Amino acid sequence: MSNTNNDTSDIKKAANQADDQQIEKNLNEDKKVDAPEELSKEEQTSFINDELRTDK
């Protein structure tokens, strides 16, 4: 079982050890997020057969 007092002290230790300049550098970097992979026609089809749908 974890003790919430220990959790708080761990968080405080981490905050005290954080490098302000590195954090600022990381926030200011122009991060390239990978675009989602293009799906084929088969992969884009719904899981439900359109002919069986009753909600149309």
3-53: pLDDT as tens digits: 555 567 888 888 888 888 888 888 887 776 677 778 888 787 666 777 877
pLDDT score, position 2: 55
| Best CA proximity match to 44, nearest among 35, 56, 36, 53 | 36
CA distance 9 to 39: 47
What does the block give as tokens for 32? 């390239």
CA distance 20 to 39: 41
CA distance 52 to 54: 6
Q: What's the first-to-final CA gap in the chain, in angstroms?
A: 52
